[in-house]
Amino acid sequence: MDAAKQTLVDVFAKRARNYDITSNFMYAAGMRIARYRRMSVDFLDLRPGDTVVDAGCGTGLNFPLILDRIGPTGRIIGVDFSGEMLAQAERRVAREGWTNVELIQADLETFEFPPCDGIIAFLSITLLPRYDETIARGYAALRPGRRWVVHDYKLPGWWPERMLHLLEPLIKPFGGSMDMAARRPWESIRRYGVDAAVIDRYFGFAVFAYGSAR
């Protein structure tokens, strides 16, 4: 594992225990995370019985919303490379008594997606340097017409380059790095899919992108 990836793994190992609380801190900055989560799951356009991959599932905060839509006959496959985040997800699954959630510890940069009806990456895909390959591989596993949904933070087009460094202290504790400013997963969502849409929110700092498999 390279040094950058190891740093990320260490950040999430430390954050795992309090992640469900600290992930709400963005509210202090006016970001409506719960609403963004609901919007992202809505963009998946799920049906009862669907199989959904939650890519970078963390502690499983998306799971209840997905399960509401796919019902007891559907299935969630939660994938994350952090054992600590997955341990929290496992606790949630046991607490709620869900029997149709499978958790897999794997690196999304090499993960072989199973055949599925939806893939969601909520605040995770921009953390991957090789996000483009992962998005292409995800599309290949999706059933025709079914959706890949990405929600992430980004640098708005109007943000001056010379002020880039001001953001570093804000994103570093969350596993972010300045390399992320150059990552544009919404372009990959468009490139490999059809009927794609890209929606900006929060003055261009938040982005939703979805597309359907060919």
Ligand X SMILES: C[S@@+](CC[C@H](N)C(=O)[O-])C[C@H]1O[C@@H](n2cnc3c(N)ncnc32)[C@H](O)[C@@H]1O
Footprint on this chain of ligand X (rule: CB under 6 A):
8, 12, 23, 56-58, 61-62, 80-82, 85, 107-109, 122-124, 127-128
Residue (58 or 74) nearer to ligand X, CB: 58
Residue nearest to ligand X (CB): 58
Could you tell me the smallest distance in angstroms from the CB atom of residue 34 to ligand X?
11
How far from each other are the two terminal CA atoms of the chain, in whole angstroms?
Answer: 33
Q: Which of 198, 58, 172, 56 is nearest to 208 (CA)?
A: 198
Closest approach of ligand X to the CB of residue 161, in Å: 25
Contacts of 93 (CB under 8 A, 6+ apart): 60, 63, 101, 103
Min separation Cβ 125 and ligand X, Å: 8
Q: For ligand X, which is the closer residue by CB, 36 or 192? A: 36
Tokens 């309090």 correspond to: 18
Q: Considering beta carbons, is residue 105 or 197 the nearer one to ligand X?
A: 105
**Coil, helix or strand at residue 2:** coil
Give Cβ neighbours of residue 29 (< 8 Å, ≥ 6 apart).
none
The structure tokens 């790095």 sit at 177
Q: Give the nearest distance from C-beta 96 to ligand X in angstroms.
A: 16
Is 90 or 109 the residue whose CB approaches ligand X more closely? 109
